[in-house]
Chains A and B, each alone.
Chain A
Amino acid sequence: MLRVDAICKSFKEFSLSGVSFSVEQGDYFMLLGPSGAGKSVVLEIIAGLIAPVSGSVYLDDVDITSEAISSRGVGLVFQDLALFPHLTVFQNIAFPLKRKGVKGEELSRRVGSLAQKLQVTHLLKRSPSTLSGGEAQRVALARTLALEPRILLLDEPLAAVDVELRAELRALLRNLNREGQTILHVTHDYEEAISLGSQVAVMADGRIAQQGTIEEVFQNPASDFVAKFSGIRNFYPVTASPLSNGNLRVATLSNSLSISFYSDDATQQGYICIPENTVSISVQKQESSQQNTFSGKVIDVFKQRFGYEVVVDVLGLHVAALITEESLAKLMLTTGTVVWVSFKATTVRFIAV
């Protein structure tokens, strides 16, 4: 649907060199990378606000690289939202509709319907300067959706929103995508990428370091950068047990393994992440406070910047643990050694999708 082909652009501080990726119809595509990687510039090039030095942007196989901004059919929600301060919320949402010639009752009906969908009906008469971060974000989304964009470009949409409101906005974005809206979402937050994305491209220093499904990229990072940036190796899709009183829940993995964790999020589908440095390895089963203890076989040992990474196969599931050189020598771990892997339920993080 959207194809970005070998985009190059130089700035004083950094440059984009040969950025290529493609987004399919209905995808929720995450462009993930640290600040200054050039993610926002890619969005502005797609929207036509910046012209690339070389490379092309295709939308439905039509080259739109030189097309006028206003006729691209690409809706961009800026990081700072760019709501028009001299117009009310109603007038902001009506802005793209008026351009299409929508007037009178039809205009009110369509603005009303978008406002209802984004839950901003009570704000229609307000000025943007009186809105909270979450409210302004919803209004900006409603205004861009009024354009009926073929693809929705979001630049760090959750960055200015309080933590409590993030889950709510994530659910809203997820629903938009489920209704068929193709979304390209830029973020520096891997949790956001996991929570929302179906596809992800990791960007570093003005180029795409890796692209694939969320699982492909997070479980098999193609480079040190991707591994460090994503920061997680033990990352698995799970179905969680319903919320119980003590918030201790059980995640069932694809290989039927059950992992205990704490979460007050009632969602049942999601991913769990277990930081490598919180996984212990022993050669004999030990009684401890750790809720999660499994037997497995070492399948790989390799040196890391600090210590060694030991990869253990637990019923087909690969669990990575970071241990010191001294522990590696003491336990005499090599490929094929049978070990016990354990970690506390409190170190397991659940990311709802």
Chain B
Amino acid sequence: MKPLSTFNIIASFLGGLVLLFVVAPIVGMVLATPLSALVSTAKEPEVTGSIWLTLWVSMAATLVFAVAAIPLAYLLARRSFWGKRLVLGVIDLPVVIPHSAAGIAILGFIARDSVMGKTASIFGVSLVGTPAAIALAMAFVSLPFLINAAREGFAAVPERLEKAALNLGASPARVFFTISLPLAWKAILSGLVMMFARGMSEFGAVVIVAYHPMITPVLIFERFGAFGLKYARPVSVIFIGVCLAVFVVIRLIAKREVKDA
């Protein structure tokens, strides 16, 4: 075996510290939470309801916004147009702005006196404090993950294959659905998973647009504020477990799908 150089030893040590920094608080929290507390918390309808709400709203936000975000990613990968750099910057904006500020912006957008709020009220619907508002907040902060991953996926598809399909008589829409989309699918799927995961873990923007119904990150915050660390821990541990399980399952499904494709 090759002896490690001094640089490699230092790099490994520093890397280990970083990993420890990520793992230690989570492991510490898990170890500090008694099993009995976990079991009783898992039985609470408020907890299970909030986890379910978080999962389905994030999933719905991901799927609904994907319908428009994926074609946008394709255009960004394939077309050159005036102001493209500006559009790319706008897409990354949610990553750099504080999420509480994003929540304020969305609240203004859907409030009863806004155009969207007024339109919704015509149909007797109020958006503020609804799963729809939560979905909008989640989508706002997590869309860049999907758009950027899909854009890179489309850019990696050789343009020649699309040209060949056009030459074989396919319309641009058919080329998109039969060539570009299947070939970029792996990257798109990865983007969908990232968007879903990021949406699920969002707190800052959601807490402003909808304190109720309560998604799990808001529930954890509420329990911490009202009852303290001890009562916030079991919910946190359960939610982290659920997130990890969902993440692993989706990754496995995605891996199999890409393999089949």
Which residues does A use to contact B, with CB under 8 Å? 47-49, 69-71, 74-76, 78, 80, 82, 84-86, 95-96, 99-100, 143-144, 146-147
Contacts and interface: CB of A to CB of B under 8 A. Distances in A.
13 contacts: A49-B166, A70-B166, A70-B169, A75-B168, A78-B160, A80-B160, A95-B168, A95-B178, A99-B169, A99-B170, A100-B169, A144-B167, A146-B168
Interface residues of B, number: 18
Nearest to A73: B169
Interface in B151-166: 158, 160-161, 163-166
Contact of B167 (A75, A80, A84, A100): A75
Contacts of B174: 99
B15 interface: no
Interface in B124-174: 158, 160-161, 163-171, 174
A82 B166 contact: no
Interface of B: 158, 160-161, 163-171, 174, 178-179, 182-183, 261
B177 to A, nearest CB: 12
Contact of B169 (A49, A80, A84, A96): A96
A66 to B, nearest CB: 15
B168 A96 contact: yes
A164 B160 CA distance: 28
B165 A84 contact: yes
Contacts of B179: 84
A86 B161 CA distance: 11
B168 A147 contact: yes
A48 B168 CA distance: 12
A115 B182 CA distance: 25
B170 A95 contact: yes
B163 A99 contact: no
A143 B168 contact: yes
A99 B183 contact: no
Given A49-B163, A78-B164, A144-B168, 12 more contacts: A70-B169, A70-B170, A71-B169, A82-B163, A84-B164, A84-B165, A86-B182, A95-B178, A99-B171, A100-B169, A144-B167, A147-B169
A95 B167 contact: no
Contacts of B158: 82
Contacts of B164: 76, 78, 82, 84
B182 A95 contact: no
Contacts of A100: 169
A75 B167 CA distance: 6
A242 to B, nearest CB: 43
A100 B261 CA distance: 24
A76 B183 CA distance: 22
A100 B169 CA distance: 8
A85 B168 contact: no
Contacts of B183: 85-86
B174 to A, nearest CB: 7
A295 to B, nearest CB: 56
A312 to B, nearest CB: 50
B161 A84 contact: yes
| Across the A-B interface, the 6 shortest Cβ-Cβ residue pairs | A82-B164, A96-B168, A69-B166, A99-B169, A82-B160, A70-B169
A146 B171 CA distance: 17
A95 B160 contact: no
B167 A86 contact: no
B257 to A, nearest CB: 12
A99 B163 CA distance: 15
A310 to B, nearest CB: 50
A74 B169 CA distance: 9
Contacts of A49: 163, 166-167
A71 B169 CA distance: 6
Contacts of A146: 168
Nearest to B183: A86
B58 to A, nearest CB: 29
Contacts of A147: 168-169
Contacts of A82: 158, 160-161, 163-164
A99 B169 CA distance: 7
A82 B170 CA distance: 15
Contacts of A47: 167
A100 B171 CA distance: 11
Contacts of A76: 164, 167
Contacts of A71: 169
A253 to B, nearest CB: 43
Nearest to B261: A86
